[in-house]
Amino acid sequence: MLKIGNTEIKIPVAAAPLAGITNLAFREICSELGAGLVYSEMISSNGLVYNSGKTFSMLESSQNESPLSVQIFGYDPDIMAKAAEIIENKSEANFIDINMGCSVKKILKSNSGSALMKDPDKTKSILTSVRKAVKLPLTIKIRSGRDTSGEDALLIAKIAQDCGVDAVAVHPRTITQGFRGCADWSLIKKIKNSINIPVIGNGDINTPEDAVKMFQETECDGIMIGRAAVSDPFIFRHIKSMLERGVYEKTSIKEHFSLMKSYLEASVRTLGEETACKMMRSRLSWFVKGLPHNHVFKEKIKMISDKNSGLEIICEYESLLKKI
């Protein structure tokens, strides 16, 4: 069990925040399949404070996805604190997370995301301001920092603990590394040994076996799954089974296609048919990665404009695979 602040998370496996992906529909699916904690997409603190309708819509949630952590990014301590207050007062969030791990150029240019790891004083100011502003448990997500030594991460983790942060998630790749190369899990263990608050390990968990291995090698308190869940959210169910019983059953074709239909329907329900269908043109393609004749499905799904046509294409492809 993972405990962040006074909140107990029964399954110590989180669905990582992913821009453009971890919206309400996707989070509901991850929760249903066994994720013990889900994160919102990265939300602009400026957007919340200056009352952007589009930004506020990202706070929408449901009882089907609890517990929920809302992740914000920004650079100004006062703005970040006000954004955190808005989340606490106007959303159903159970946690507030501050992004210090995004290394996208646009975010770095705004001195947000992992750029904060280069500025410990600014980081301390932000964390102090946010901690004073809200009572919800506060967490951060970080990278290794500017180089592979991990010194930046170790320093930021200690600052976070001193500022009253309740947990730290660590993706042990450098700022410039992006998703290239391998995550250095040894840094997760170093950080775990250097602070007394929970540490969540993230990076290169592609299978249930990887999940068990990370727990064993790093002694982390929880793990976080990102890219591996995009095309196969069943990984949460498999990891849960591995942790509880040491084995897991592979997903059947029927279950896989049932999930695709549920994802489409949930997206239409939460986003509206037109927006959802445009999004599903790419999202559903990820779900057929590695399946036979998937190019046929990918070409057809690019054209969907309504829920029924999308469901029809999914059913057609499912029937095709049953014949092989």
Return the SS3 of 2: strand
Q: Of 50, 35, 63, give the one whose Cα is nearest residue 232.
A: 35
> Which amino acid does the sequence have at 190?
K
- Among left, alpha and beta (phi > 0; psi -120 to 50; other), residue 20 is left
> Does the N-terminal peptide bond of residue 198 adopt cis geometry, omega within 30 degrees of 0?
no
CA terminus-to-terminus distance, the chain: 43
Which residues are catalytically annotated? 102
Dump the DSSP string for 35-78: -SEEEPPPEEHHHHHTT-HHHHHTT---GGG-SEEEEEE-S-HH
Q: Where are the alpha helices (DSSP H) in the chain?
A: 24-32, 45-49, 53-57, 77-90, 105-109, 120-133, 151-162, 185-194, 208-218, 227-231, 235-245, 253-271, 273-286, 294-301, 307-323
Residue 103 CA to residue 115 CA, distance in Å, equals: 8
Cα 143 from Cα 1, distance rounded (Å): 24
Q: Is the separation of the CB atoms in 69 and 118 below 8 Å? A: no
- State how far Cα 57 lies from the chain centre: 18
- Name the 3-class secondary structure at 7: strand
> Which residue bears the tokens 């200056």?
50
User: What is the C-alpha separation between 160 and 42, in angstroms, rounded?
Assistant: 19
